[in-house]
């Protein structure tokens, strides 16, 4: 059974800071492919997407006004996104509810 989750984000500078150091990211996680060449009626470089597999919700809190706090929280988000897209092992979707249903490819 799949559900629907509508997400939104907002960050506030607060009462004590002159700038907002916090960062957040909300994204759908889905499979995709980019078409390089095809005989089908698709443009080259078309990107095709599968159904959403889940949501990614990230929050990186600033450093309390320390130097480069905004850059640090941005780097934390960027680093995790890079890790998830380029280094993280992906798993098969489970067909049941037990741990044995997860197999690393």
Task: Please count the structural domains in the chain.
Answer: 1
At residue 80, the pLDDT reads 94
Predicted confidence band of residue 79 (pLDDT cuts 50, 70, 90):
very high
pLDDT, tens digit (0-9, with 9 covering 90-100), for 56-70: 999 998 777 677 777
Q: How many angstroms separate the CA atoms of 51 and 85, rounded?
A: 17
Residue 62 lies in a domain: yes
User: What residue numbers bound the domain in which 27 lies?
Assistant: 23-88
Residue 100 lies in a domain: no
Residue 1 has pLDDT above 50, yes or no: no
**Tokens standing for residue 91:** 């798993």
Predicted confidence band of residue 27 (pLDDT cuts 50, 70, 90):
very high
CA angle centred on 51, ends 25 and 24, rounded to 5°: 5
Residue 101 lies in a domain: no
Residue 93 has pLDDT above 80, yes or no: no
């Amino acid at each position: 059974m799949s559900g629907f989750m509508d997400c939104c984000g907002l960050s506030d500078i607060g009462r004590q800071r002159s700038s907002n150091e916090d960062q957040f990211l909300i994204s759908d996680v889905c499979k995709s492919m980019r078409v390089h060449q095809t005989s089908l009626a698709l443009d080259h470089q078309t990107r095709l997407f599968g159904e959403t597999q889940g949501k990614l919700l990230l929050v990186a809190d600033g450093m309390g006004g320390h130097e480069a706090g905004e850059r640090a929280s941005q780097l934390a988000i960027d680093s995790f996104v890079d890790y998830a897209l380029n280094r993280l092992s992906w798993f098969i979707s489970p067909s049941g509810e037990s741990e044995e249903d997860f197999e690393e490819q």
